[in-house]
Structure 1
Amino acid sequence: MELTRELGKKIINETRKLIDENIIIVNKNAIIIASTDPTRIDKFHEGAQMTIQNNSVTLLTEDHIQTMKGIRPGVNLPISINNTVIGVIGITGNPQEIIPFASLMQKMTELLIQENIYIQENEWHARALETYFLEWIQMDDIPNEFLHRGELLGITLSPPFRCSIVSLNGNHIQAKTVDDVLKLFRLKLNCPVIRWGNSRLILITEEVHPQAIVNLQHQLQSAQNYIQSTLHVSFSIGIGTSINTYQIKESFQKANKALSIGRENNMTYYEDLLLEVCLDDIKTDIRHEFLDKIISKFKNEDALMNTLKIYLKNNMNLTETATELHIHINTLHYRLNRIKQLTGLNPKHTYSIALFYTAFYFLDNYTK
């Protein structure tokens, strides 16, 4: 462990709350890396060198100034981690006045460094898990060596299991928010939870008995309610299929599909996507031909396209659709009638609704 300038600044900002004196942080080479007096940064401190060598508190008086380089009267305290001195915290002032605060300052500094080490280790572990899972979903054959590496990272599952994806809603999600959600999911589900990008998490749960999916649903719902009420964070969940091998790619892909199709703030199971599963088997040229017939006459009219999409999302409820679009209900009627005129399909009829839904599904999933 080495003291960095960033960590030195953090220690200065926290410890100066305890004492109104100038403070320096010195690395193991006796170079000042942080100070309340910026003019001292990058200078050699001979008193700190003595403190490091002796691993003991050093009192520096006016007499020492005449014989030692880069010092001021005060107290130097060694910073030790795992019984190894990695630097020094120095406090300028009358040593007799400073001594009562010395041990507290030293302990606080070491606790701050331990916290920083913990954060770094967690960050390394999170990145290692994400890299591991990225490799996993690209593999067709899973060697034993790979599974052993997963065990070292805490992934000790045996098939059958399934993959779920949690996506936090909103823009500019803070990294701390994702970490807080991750911790609560681990607490509630007791399963591997992997940070996936900036706003998503991967959950891998074992299917140990026939009621596993029911239990998973209850656990996810409980976790969702708790996290939303505790952190005021909303999110959606896509749940993949159960698989009987270590080839998790299929479950991940289906979880991703469920997430992309599901409604915001909801849990969506791939098994429930009956129509979507059928639509996925339709050939590309047929999809394009279908889109051309259904929406080509108004696909460039954003107001009509958005109106129809919101109308379908709200299950053809006119009041809810008009409210979400911030338009008068008469305007909504006009737009729906305009769509009918252009396509010959009445958005209020079941058959037309099925066609429009299919068209939007193709647009959202196969034309991006």
Structure 2
Amino acid sequence: MLKPQLAQRIIHEVGHLLHEQIIVVNSEGLIIASTDLNRKGQFHAGAKYTMSTKLTQIMTQEDVKRWPGVKAGINLPIFFQKEVIGVIGITGQAEQVEPKGEILKKMTELMIQESYYQEEIDYHARSLEAFVFDWLNQKERNDVFIHRAIPLNICLDIERQILYIDLNESTQQVVRSIWEDIMNGIPSYRNDIVIRWGSSHLLLILDVSNKGFSLKDEVDHVYHRVMKHLDRPARIGVGSVVPPEKLVKSFQGAERALHATSENEPIVFDESLTLEMIAEDVSPDTKQLFIDRTLASILDKPELIHAIKVLIMHDFSYKEASTDLHIHTNTLHYRVKKFEELTGLNLKQLKTKVILYMGLLFLDEHTKRRSL
């Protein structure tokens, strides 16, 4: 239970509170952490004696002479679940260090308890991740799988819907904070599951069995929870509602929807996708060839590409698009004309608009892939 890494963290956390030297000794009597690095790995007979008595011991000059590794000071047994698991020692005059000893001992025991519960949480989280991975990859449900769900408190008899959340390359610490925040916000009456998925993604597997459940409200709620921790926009792809045995279908839809998100549209529902569904089945080589045939001549002109994207977003309303771009309408007309001259595409034709939309769709996907 008392590992060297945790012992060193204890020394680091409490060491700045005291001027005296501190050691942490494991159950075998070995010093596993110390403010004096030269003492690490030494046997401490006084600590071993302290563990046998389960009582605080003052180390005197006589003890220094008769026991190896001992310095004058105080040794305090560290308890966890009513058992002694080690000793924390403070070097110095007994009358000076004794008043600090009990406080240091309590702080140490609290840190060990916190570490234990954190390990329990992490173990449960890893078990959930492994279970969901198998759930998404299983071809048929068997008794072993069903029994694995019981200790994890996962209901396999309700409809589900997956939210695939991209946390914009956040650090592991930020990802953990968001994961814990979402987990703590799950109502007790719902059997939602939230797991970490890759380095900076989360999967939220919603329980949609409640008749009063509002998906839009839930997605908005989750997005705002996530954004409390980020200074860059997160993105969420929302899959469809499926029976539990078809969970992979919701995952595939959520993944497809996530690919379709953008800065202007950070939340996308799979059920709203149309041309994007076709795009998922097109090979990368074909997508690249399509970009080369449609947009290659303006790839080095980002202001034209951005102007066309905004125009599409506003359903080709030049007035609304120019307002959004903060430019005069005539300037937007000029950029569209320049775009048509360079690409050979006539934006007055419906077919061209579809081609352009697909080209920009592939280009956005290509740009995202290169940035990963």
Describe the shift of the 1:43–1:297 C-alpha distance in structure 2 as closer, same or farther (beyond 3 A): same
Which AA in structure 2 matches 1:83?
A: K
Partner of 1:202: 203
Mark the CA change 1:2 to 1:158 in structure 2 (over 3 Å): closer, same or farther.
same
Task: Name the counterpart of 1:259.
Answer: 258
Cα 1:227–1:279, aligned 2, differ >3 Å: closer, same or farther?
A: closer
Counterpart for residue 241 of structure 2: 242
1:185 corresponds, among 159, 182, 185, to: 182
Unaligned runs of 5+ in 2: 315-320
In the alignment, structure 1 residue 216 sits paired with structure 2 residue 191: no
Instruction: Tell me the distance in 1 between the aligned counterparts of 2:290 and 2:8.
Output: 64
Alpha-carbon displacement from aligned partner over 1:68-108 (angstroms, at most 9, x marks no partner): 11111110011111122221101011112222222111111
> What SS does the aligned partner of 1:152 have?
coil
1:76 aligned residue = 75
Q: 1:366 to 1:3 in 2, by over 3 A?
A: closer
Distance (whole Å) between structure 2 residues aligned to residue 45 and residue 83 of structure 1: 22
The alpha-carbon deviation at position 165 of structure 1 amounts to: 0.9
- Closer, same or farther: CA 298–254 of 1 in aligned 2, 3 Å: closer
1:151 correspondence with 2:125: no
Tell me: CA distance 1:146–1:365, structure 2 relative to 1, closer, same or farther (3 Å).
Answer: farther
Tell me the alpha carbon deviations over residues 140-199 of structure 1, each in whole angstroms, 9 at most, x when there is no partner. Answer: 212232132123223224232111111113x4x122211221222223343211111121
1:90 aligns with: 89
Question: How many angstroms apart in 1 are the aligned matches of 2:358 and 2:294?
Answer: 16
Contact 1:259 1:268 in 2 (8 A): yes
Q: How far apart are the structure 2 equivalents of 1:245 and 1:229?
A: 31
Map of 2:269 onto structure 1:
269
CA offset at residue 363 of structure 1? 5.3
Q: Distance in 1 between matches of 2:99 and 2:288?
A: 79
Alpha carbons 1:168, 1:199 under 8 Å: kept: yes
How far 1:210 sits from its partner (Å)? 5.6
Distance 1:60 1:269, change over 3 A: same
8 Å CA contact 1:240–1:251 kept in 2: the answer is yes
**More moved, 105-114 vs 91-100:** 91-100
Equivalent residue, structure 2, for 1:165: 164
Contact 2:161 2:242 in 1 (8 A): yes
- Relative to structure 1, the CA distance from residue 278 to residue 178 in structure 2 (aligned partners, 3 Å threshold; closer, same or farther) is same
Deviates more, 1:342-351 or 1:215-224: 342-351
Of all paired residues, the percent bearing the same amino acid is 31
Q: Does 1:26 align with 2:20?
A: no
Per-residue deviation, residues 96-145 of structure 1 (Å, max 9, x unmatched): 22222221111111111111112222222222222222222112212232
Q: Does 1:16 align with 2:19?
A: no
> 1:151/1:299 Cα in 2 relative to 1: closer, same or farther (>3 Å)?
farther
Following TM superposition, by how much is the alpha carbon of 1:299 offset from its aligned partner in structure 2, in angstroms?
2.1
Deviates further, 53-62 or 180-189? 180-189
Cα deviation, 1:11-56, whole Å, max 9, x if unaligned, reads 1122234432111111111111111112211111110111122221
Contact kept, 8 Å, 1:298 with 1:304, in 2: the verdict is: no
Alignment of 1:227-238 (within 5 A): 227-229=226-228, 234-238=233-237
Superimposed CA distance per residue, residues 247-275 of structure 1 (whole angstroms, 9 cap, x where no aligned partner): 31111010010111022363211111133
Greater mean deviation of Cα atoms: 187-196 or 41-50: 187-196
Given the alignment of the two structures, is residue 343 of structure 1 paired with residue 340 of structure 2, yes or no? no
Q: Which residue of 1 aligns with 2:354?
A: 354
Distance 2:298 2:229 in 1: 42
**What CA distance in whole angstroms lies between the structure 2 residues aligned with 1:292 and 1:208?**
45
Partner of 2:317: none
Aligned to 1:312: 309
State the SS of the aligned residue for 2:150.
helix
Distance 2:9 2:198 in 1: 27
Task: For 1:237, give the aligned amino acid.
Answer: I
**Count of residues in Structure 1 that have an aligned counterpart in Structure 2:** 356
* DSSP 3-state at the match of 2:305: helix
Q: Which moved more, 1:200-209 or 1:22-31?
A: 200-209
8 Å contact from structure 1 (residues 322, 332) kept in 2: no
Distance 1:306 1:75, change over 3 A: same
Does the 8 A contact of 1:79 with 1:89 survive in 2? yes
Query: Structure 1: any 5+ residue segments left out of the alignment?
Result: none
How has the CA–CA distance of structure 1 residues 149 and 310 changed in structure 2, closer, same or farther, with 3 Å as cutoff? farther
Q: Summarize the Cα distance change of 1:280–1:61 in structure 2 as closer, same or farther, 3 Å threshold.
A: closer
C-alpha distance in structure 1 between counterparts of 2:46 and 2:132, whole Å? 50
Question: 2-side partners of 1:90 and 1:330: how far apart?
Answer: 79
Contact 1:78–1:85 (8 Å) recurs in 2: yes
Deviates more, 1:117-126 or 1:40-49: 117-126
Query: Conserved in 1, the CA contact under 8 Å of 2:56 and 2:75?
Result: yes
